[in-house]
Every structure is written in C-alpha cells, then in structure tokens.
C-alpha cells in the first residue's frame, strides 16, 4: 500500500512556516510499516493543485493532503479532490449542526462552505477548529484521498484518532510499541550498541528519536494480539536493559528532570546543586518545570575559582594542588554545598567543556560529578569529548541521572 | 522566473528528520521576489528521482535540489540530474585536489566519486563537507538545475554564497538588506508594532525570523545601487529604532549573551548573577559561550528563600514584608551578590514565571531585575504574562540587555 502526502499552503512555499505536518504523518506511517513515496507542497493555485492531486491519485493508493480546508475563496482542497475523484459536493448535516453551535448568529456564507464535503465521503471530526476532515474512498475501496486541516493542533488529533486506525485496519497489520527514554547515550552511540536490533525487516522494529532532553527509543512489534507482541517486545527489552539499562530513566516520553522532580516530590526531598562546567543547566532543567520550587533549594553556579572558595568553601590548597577539575574539588564542592543548603541531596559538577582549557592529563570532556546523600559522598569520573554545548547538556543529564539512581538505590 | 525545490532523502520520507532546507530556501527566494511553485520530496529510488527531476525541469526555470550528494551507492542526485539534462559525468580537478587534502591516504573509491560532476557544470565549493554542490545551466542559459548537499550546515553557506548571488543576477534584481537582532519583543508583538511596514508589495520589504535567542528582523530594499538602497533602508531604520530601539542589541545575527560577553571582554569586566525565576538561564546563556570563564564569576540560583537569605544575605524581614518578588528583594539580592562576588557588574532577577504562584497584586509574569554597577543600583519592574519557559527566557534576555545598556550608558 503506497502513500503520499500533499501539503497545500502558500505559507510553506514562501518559507513563512515549516512543514511539520509532513514529518508527523511520515513518522506515523513508517511506524506502521507503510511506504511513503512522495511529499509534495503546492500553493493555493487551482491548476497546480489539481495536477498534484491527479498525479498523486494516479500513482499512489492513499493520498493524504493537509491544508486548504479553510473558509476563504483560496481554500480549494476539498473541491479539487472531489473533482479529481469525479464527485459532487454536498452538505454534511452533522457538521452543519456543529457549525451552528460554534457560530450561532455570526455564521457567514464562507463558514457554511465548511460543511460541504464530497458526496459519499466520510466526515472526520475536528476537535479544534471549524474545518472537518474528509476521507474519500473510490468505489472499489482500493484507493483513498484523505483531507486534513493545515494547523498542526487540528491536524494531529484528527490524524491520530481517525486516520491511523483506518490505515492500520486497511493494511491489515496490528502494532504494539514500548518506549524507553535514555540519557548518557547519544543517538549514534545507541545505534552502535544496538546495531543488531536495527534491521528494518525484523520484528520488532526499533527506532530512535533525538529529543532535546534525551533519546526516545521505540520498539514496535507487529503481531496478531497483545500476548504475542509482548513475547517479542520482552525479548528486545531484555537486550536493551542489558546493554544500556544504566541510561534508561523512563519507559515513556518524559524528561529526566521531570522524573527527578517527581521522585523528589514523592520522597519529600530537597535538592541543591553546585555547577561549574554545566553552568546553570542543571538549575535550568529543574526550574523549567512547574512545582520545582517545592523541591529545589537552588544552584550555586560557581564558575570561577573565587566563587568555588567563597560560596562553597573549597580550599585554595585543593584547587592549587589538584585543580578545579578533580575528584577532590568535586567532593569539596558537594560537601560545602550540603553544609550551606542543608538539602536532602546535593550534587556538584566540575569539568572541562572546551573548546579550550584541556590538557594531556585533563582533556576536554573530562568531568567529575559528586553527590552527597545521607552523610555519604559519591563521586564519578566521566569523559565525553564533544562540542561545548553538548558536553554541558550531557553532563547535566549525567548528574541528574546519578541523583535519580542514588535515591532509588536507597529504596532497595 | 519560476523555481521549485526537490529534496532527496529517505530520512525525510520516514519522518526521521524535518525538512528545514526547503523552508530556508523558500524564505530566501521569497525575499528576492522569486516564485516558488512546488516542493517535492522523494527518496533514493532512481526511477522516482528521475521522474521528479524530469517533471520539475519541464515546468520550472530553476530547479534546486538538496541531498543525495554523498559517497554511497544510494546517492544518485548528480547522476540523475546529469541524465535528465543529457550530460556525461567528469572529474572536477579542483575538488579532487581538495578531497586528496581532506582524506590523504584514507581515500576510498566512494570518496573519489564525490569529485565527479556533470560535464560543463559549475562546481560549488562546500566549506563544511566532502560533497561539492553543482550548478548546471542548459545551453541557452534559460534553465538551470542546482544541486546542494543535504545537511543544513553544508547547504546553507553554499546556498547563501553561491546560489543567492546567481539567482539575484539572473533575476536582474539587486537587493540590499539590513538586519536587527531584537530582544524584549516576541515575533507577533514586533509585527504588531511595525504592522504598517509589513506590506509585501512595498519597497523595502520586512520580515521577522524567530531565533532561539531573539528575533532577527530583516529589511530588504530593491534598488539599482547601494546609495539608493541606503536611502530606502535608512527611512525604515529610523522608524524601527523609534518604535523598538530599546530591544535592538545588534545589527547582525548574533546572540545577546555573545554581545554581552564581547562587551565585558572589551571592558575587562567581570559579571555576576543572582537568579530566582530565571532559574539558571542567565548562567546557561553566558557559559554556553567559549571564553565565558574570563568574564563570568558565576550565578547564585537562589530559588528558595533560604538560599536568598543564606547566600545573598537578603533579610528575612524584607521577604516577610515585601515578598520574594519585590523591588526590595531584588535590590537586596543584587547588593548581597555584589558584596559576595566583588564583580564589576552584578545582576539579580526575581519574578513569577507561573503557572502557579500568581496573585491579584502580583500576577504571573511579574518580574524585577536589579543591576549593581559602580556603587549604583538600578531596578526595573517588568510584566510579561506568558508560559513558564517563555517567561524565563524573556526575563533572561531582559536582564542581559539591561546589563548591556548600563555598561554602554556609562560610555556616553
């Protein structure tokens, strides 16, 4: 079953907006193993729009179009698709009633047009707008054109709720997925470690999604029922935990800082941080979240040695003898912080994010993370040479994950 | 002169990456008044790729393709374009020499292939990769196919430096632009304030680009020579400075934190910060930049009242009487910080980013920014109700801009 996407939007051709709809639909189709042959974007020009529909309908089984369902004269997607499929337009009574509720006495002829759909087509409910979607199948039900609104907040729920079930049913396949959110590994490192699982022909399939706050790993099995799928998925899960379990902090798409915040809330704990190389990114990750003030004392971003001494009480001799990036300094930072803040758990980070400041003995990428918890101090050395910003973010993740692990370890 | 874009990339069809190249090119073409008819994305399938090129070359004057210039068997864009234009491939000696420098003795036959370009085509230099771009004109020079690499960091400089001048020359139009980088205003607020300048038919034209670290405003005049352009541009510049000059921190695309860092370096000054609602984002913005350790003492992210008292010496009575979000607290924060750090300039921020914590008297969005400089303390109150993360970033920009303005004011 071949699919293709047509985006209707002069704004996209002008570069005013980016085509996120195509990516969303593409990713969803690839998750359920459907082939996507083309994306085409065209403007509101009737002739070009018609040519695009004709060509797509000719060469593909399913044509998914987004945009051009609005109330204005420029919005011609429905009419054009109907013409290509040889259908008249007719009023959809259900949507007309809905429009009457939405607009009451403010209804204009333009709005009325939004209740028209091609004869025999199925109306797709729009939760967030006044333009319904449309699913039009040919008589033999071998081909279909699906029309969705352009704004992502209207398109996405309609696609998820109306289109995906239709496509899954049509493709005769059923899919079950498990998700893992991972820190301490980049996308390519993950792919390297799990290379043998990345065969697109295998079942389950596996895919990584680089998110701002970690990697989301998706494992999807194609099976007749959930029990069969679980057997397939569990086999992969065991391998994944064995190889990268130390970096897995959630089995859903959630940020690491949210996981840590939830854990702190649950335990009624207060966290304090002292940051050198991460430069405020631990604080930023935590304070980005609503409710963080209840669990976060603050962070001493002691970027200079003066600040490390003055605020955290790191000894001058320690800095002179071992340097700012050393286990000794990391330990004194976290001990000073614990004393200053009286927080339940304290974390300190010192490292070399580069591009300058590295040496043979202490290369760019070197970092020490220390955690003080219940009168014990843990310290880990980690080396991850990369670009400055990536190092800062990776070490932020490392520190937060270490906090998470130490709290959880205590439960055992 | 009609243009269209072909993106070659299975990753785009799979939804693994988003098609930012098309947007970049579209926006640039619309800036110089060129019509873009279609975006097409197709995978590495030779038959479909050829069909896409044939169709595009038939209906448009300029076809710009991105992707598929790599060294692997899958990368067929050059060969396909050559075939459609009826050209053989030949070795480009200049690029071959370049490859020999890059790869030395690690060169493989695959890499060698990257020096091949269609006979008679112009090689476009790639600053950031091993695949050169290609410009192929037909004999009459009425039509052209332009091939660019897929990765944006390779595509964008090549497009800006090689393709834009070619297209401008070809379209017989000359454009001159001025840029303004702006903080304290969102994209829609800017458009609102400058609405009368946003007419697409006028000369100059004006456009906004939302960047992670502020808004870039571009004003472009179409004129026969630079003198005429300058007259047109200056008229707009005067209006823009009059209406939003307080937010303009640069006349190029540079981050505010980089501007502040440069200024501190130039003056030999040390900056210290104390952050409550910005939660480490001032520190993160500064420390993201190489060289920040020379000008940045650190930031005390005193998220809790305990930290404000203990680290910065804010008085309990001040917090009790005026609250953590008050001018009095902001002033005590910055004074305590200045004393602690002995930095040349100190900035403190306290506010309510929401979604909770607001009240009728102190609504979500309220913020106080205080700066201590040369024994003077400045304090500003600013209210910007928005989502939590946006508030944090906006207030970070506000604080850094205030630091910038106070240092510059001192020069006068």
DSSP string, A153-193: HHHHHHIIIIIHHHHHHHHT--EEEEEEEE-S--HHHHHHH
Which residues of chain A have a CB within 8 Å of the CB of B386? none
Burial of A153 (0-12, 13-18, 19+ CB in 10 A): exposed
State residue A290's pLDDT score.
95
B350 touches chain A (CB under 8 A): no
Pick from B193, B190, B217, B192: nearest CA to B206: B217
**Residue of A411 and B114 predicted with greater confidence:** B114
**Would you say the ipTM is above 0.90?**
no
Distances (CA, A) of A47 to A42, A114, B263: 10, 21, 55
CB B341 to CB A306 under 8 A? Answer: yes
* Pick among 3.40.190.10, 3.90.950.20, 3.30.70.20, 3.30.365.10: CATH of A256-411: 3.90.950.20
Interface test with B, best of A49, A283, A295, A301 (most B CBs within 10 A): A301
What is the CATH architecture assignment of A175-250?
2-Layer Sandwich (3.30)
Dist CA B362 CA B325 (whole Å): 8
Q: Tell me if A1 sits within 8 A of A34, measured CB to CB.
A: yes
CA–CA min distance A63, chain B (Å):
14
The answer to whether A14 and B36 are in contact (CB under 8 A) is yes
Mean per-residue pLDDT, B349-370: 95
Confidence of residue B227 (pLDDT cuts 50, 70, 90): very high
pLDDT on residue B387: 86
Mean pLDDT for A316-345 is 98
Cβ separation of A15 and B24 shorter than 8 Å?
A: yes
- Pick among 3.90.400.10, 3.40.980.10, 3.30.200.20, 3.20.20.80: CATH of B2-171: 3.40.980.10
pLDDT of residue B153: 87
Question: Where in A68-156 does DSSP place strands (E)?
Answer: 89-91, 116-118, 122-124, 133-137, 144-148
What are the tens digits of pLDDT across the range A75-97?
A: 899 999 999 999 999 999 999 99
The answer to whether the CB atoms of B19 and A24 lie below 8 A apart is: no
Reported confidence tier of residue B68, pLDDT bands at 50, 70, 90: very high
d(CA A407, CA A403): 6
A378 contacts A330 by C-beta, under 8 angstroms: no
Residue B351 or residue B188, greater confidence: B351
Q: Which residue of B has its CA nearest to A34?
A: B14
Is the predicted pLDDT of residue B300 greater than 80, yes or no? yes
**pLDDT digits 0-9 by tens, A352-393:** 999 999 999 999 999 999 999 998 999 999 999 888 998 999
Res A108 pLDDT > 90: no
**With 80 as the cut, is the pLDDT of residue B233 above it?**
yes
Residue A392 touches partner B, C-beta closer than 8 Å? yes
The domain spans of chain B are 2-171, 175-250, 256-411
Residue to mutate among A18, A27, A276, A284, with most B CBs inside 10 A, is A284
Give the integer Cα–Cα distance in Å for B319 and B91: 74
Least confident segment among A361-365, B85-89, B127-131 = B127-131
């Amino acid at each position: 079953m071949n699919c293709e996407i047509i985006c209707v939007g002069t704004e996209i051709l002008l570069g005013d907006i980016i085509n996120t709809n195509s990516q969303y639909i593409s990713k969803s189709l690839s998750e359920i193993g459907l082939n996507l042959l083309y994306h085409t974007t065209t403007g509101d020009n009737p002739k070009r729009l018609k040519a695009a529909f004709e060509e797509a309908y000719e060469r593909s089984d399913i044509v998914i179009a987004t945009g051009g369902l609005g109330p204005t004269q420029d919005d011609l997607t429905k009419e054009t698709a109907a013409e290509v499929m040889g259908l008249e337009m007719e009023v959809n009574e259900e949507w007309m009633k809905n429009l009457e509720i939405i607009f009451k006495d403010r209804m204009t002829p333009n709005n009325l047009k939004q209740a028209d759909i091609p004869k025999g087509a199925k109306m797709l409910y729009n939760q967030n707008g006044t333009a319904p979607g449309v699913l039009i199948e040919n008589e033999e039900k071998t081909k279909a054109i699906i029309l969705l609104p352009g704004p992502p907040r209207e398109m996405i729920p309609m696609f998820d709720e109306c289109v995906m079930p239709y496509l899954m049913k049509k493709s005769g396949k059923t899919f079950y997925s498990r998700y893992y959110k991972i820190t301490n590994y980049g996308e390519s490192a993950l792919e390297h470690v799990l290379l043998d699982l990345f065969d697109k022909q295998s079942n389950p399939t596996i895919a990584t999604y680089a998110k701002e706050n970690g990697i989301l790993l998706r494992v999807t099995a194609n099976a007749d029922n959930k029990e069969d799928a679980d057997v397939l998925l569990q086999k992969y899960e065991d391998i994944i935990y064995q190889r990268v379990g130390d970096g897995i902090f959630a089995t859903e798409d959630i940020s690491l800082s949210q996981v840590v915040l939830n854990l702190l809330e649950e335990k009624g704990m207060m966290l304090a941080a002292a940051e050198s190389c991460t430069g405020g990114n631990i604080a930023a990750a935590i304070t980005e979240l609503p409710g963080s003030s209840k669990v976060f004392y603050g962070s001493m971003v002691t970027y200079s040695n003066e600040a490390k001494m003055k605020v955290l009480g790191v000894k001058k001799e320690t800095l002179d003898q071992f340097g700012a990036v050393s286990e000794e300094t990391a330990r004194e930072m976290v001990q000073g912080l614990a004393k200053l803040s009286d927080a339940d758990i304290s974390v300190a980070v010192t490292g070399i994010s580069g591009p300058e400041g590295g040496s043979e003995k202490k290369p760019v990428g070197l970092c020490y993370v220390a955690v003080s918890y219940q009168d014990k101090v843990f310290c880990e050395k980690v080396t991850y040479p990369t670009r400055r910003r990536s190092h800062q973010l990776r070490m932020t993740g490392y520190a937060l994950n270490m906090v998470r692990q130490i709290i959880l370890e205590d439960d055992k």
